[in-house]
Structure 1
């Protein structure tokens, strides 16, 4: 993939918000939905590995990157954003979501089944990621005080159950400052997860071929959740990413791209 292969465009969502989309490559269309505290740019190296085989549409979710936001947040609006990008990509588009992007993609597929789905550790089962209201209240208080640094640290502890050594290492990395800028979006996403009853969701309605990905070293609740989700789908396979955790897009983009392509090659043309 070269820079000349990419173009930036915008789609208009149902509520009028302009959503940024970077389109790269050639071949079967794929729509990629990033997770919390990230943007489309974090997936560039995965896109590089797909671009000779697929036309990848990577959106910046609302409130991230170049996409607009709204005064009031609604997860339904986010799903409409993804739907708008799917319409741009075409009817045979594959939908790929990571983490909270996997939550958006999987819950959207309950109503509008895409040609196929790829979901990397979507936070459906068990409800371990969901933050309690006390933690969310403290988090929102830190945001109100402008203490994004401590808010992000609290979120790592309370929302994703990260160990202190992992938080400390992350805090000393250049990525920490970048992530703090997105801290205000995290509480609304946690509340969206709180409001979704994954135990009663009719996931058997997702009848399209589905690939569920999980990292070998991801937290136990994410690994178990991915397996539980895969087991209730009518047509799904589970693939472990060896040596990886929740962020293979950053740590092993070539491996992640290869597993995506391996799955796509099994699909009807």
Structure 2
């Protein structure tokens, strides 16, 4: 199968070196396409740049598009050292500062949207327009049983399974299971196809460390969720409390059939953000960019142009 990076970006996959939140040097994978004002695409958890496969080309007609793999995801480094809550905010800031010398437009989905919103609150000068898609900001638990299971599984066990390359040895089964569970994030199961499943699962099947870092992110997430009401410095709580003071122009997109986070959360976020617009995506699940790209792209271009 042809390399997705080479088929999508003029220079294929490029690598950027940054210092992560642990002050270690890591390599970040990214693709670049188009010219003009810089625009950053930020994926969610258990995802990578491929999630923006239908959005890159339309945006690149008007912008200089950067599509990044967060640390621990996709083709970026997956260091063994444990991460701290909020490490993604620091690392996204350093990626943007390394790639761009002017304020950027950020388009982000799911956990990537929450991270981007937190960064814009902390460093508003980095971003002059923000698009948030299906943001986990008002959740009170992890959205699926298998995430909750992984949240309490001993990380050492997950790391052992990862090192054993069990998924690579059982790749057809892993892809089949992934295809089945994608029904949770798309409104129409007919949109699930073997090519997408192959590339969505590729880093987790082929690259050591991907499964372990995903489990680690899930376990950090449950700690954050459990501390919302009790910890005044809690990451999500802080983002919520700062919404009224967040003035960056913002478009909120939400799938009306998002099974993970209901569209009422998007409406609530819109009411809390003073300079925001809200658009409901019809017959669209959680993976909006991957399964409802026509609606997403039209909404993006209408907001940005």
Aligned to 2:4: none
Aligned to 2:170: none
Q: Does the 8 Å contact 1:6/1:25 carry over to 2?
A: no
Q: Does the 8 Å contact 2:260/2:286 carry over to 1?
A: no
Between stretches 206-215 and 130-139, larger displacement belongs to: 130-139
Give the distance between the partners of 1:137 and 1:184, measured in 2 at CA: 13
1:27 aligned to 2:36? yes
Per-residue deviation, 1:226: 2.1
* Aligned equivalent of 2:137, options 124, 128, 137: 124
Give the distance between the partners of 2:113 and 2:40, measured in 1 at CA: 12
**Shift in alpha-carbon separation, 1:53–1:90, aligned structure 2, 3 A:** same
Aligned to 2:100: 89
1:12 aligned to 2:46? no
**Shift in alpha-carbon separation, 1:189–1:229, aligned structure 2, 3 A:** farther
Aligned CA-pair RMSD: 3.7
**Shift in alpha-carbon separation, 1:184–1:232, aligned structure 2, 3 A:** same
Per-residue deviation, 1:27: 2.1
Give the distance between the partners of 1:189 and 1:144, measured in 2 at CA: 13
TM-score (norm 1): 0.79
* 1:1-269 mapped onto 2 (5 Å cutoff): 3-4=9-10, 8-14=14-20, 15=23, 16-70=25-79, 71-87=81-97, 88-113=99-124, 114-129=127-142, 135=149, 136-138=151-153, 140=155, 143=158, 146=161, 162=184, 175=197, 178-179=200-201, 181=205, 182-194=210-222, 195=224, 197=228, 198-199=236-237, 201-202=240-241, 203-219=243-259, 221-265=261-305
Give the distance between the partners of 1:172 and 1:95, measured in 2 at CA: 30
Per-residue deviation, 1:90: 3.2
Give the distance between the partners of 1:207 and 1:100, measured in 2 at CA: 20
For residues 75-100 of structure 1, give each alpha carbon's deviation from its aligned partner in whole angstroms, at most 9, with x where no partner exists.
Answer: 43322221122222233201121111
SS of the equivalent of 2:102 reads coil
Give the distance between the partners of 1:172 and 1:61, measured in 2 at CA: 24
Give the distance between the partners of 2:122 and 2:193, measured in 1 at CA: 39
SS of the equivalent of 1:218 reads coil
Q: Does the 8 Å contact 1:8/1:20 carry over to 2?
A: yes
Per-residue deviation, 1:22: 1.2
**Shift in alpha-carbon separation, 1:50–1:262, aligned structure 2, 3 A:** same
Give the distance between the partners of 2:41 and 2:303, measured in 1 at CA: 15
Per-residue deviation, 1:126: 3.0
Q: Does the 8 Å contact 1:128/1:221 carry over to 2?
A: no
TM-score (norm 2): 0.70
Q: Does the 8 Å contact 2:9/2:31 carry over to 1?
A: no
For residues 65-84 of structure 1, give each alpha carbon's deviation from its aligned partner in whole angstroms, at most 9, with x where no partner exists.
Answer: 22113311234332222112
Between stretches 67-76 and 140-149, larger displacement belongs to: 140-149
Between stretches 196-205 and 173-182, larger displacement belongs to: 173-182
Give the distance between the partners of 2:153 and 2:195, measured in 1 at CA: 25
Give the distance between the partners of 1:190 and 1:125, measured in 2 at CA: 17
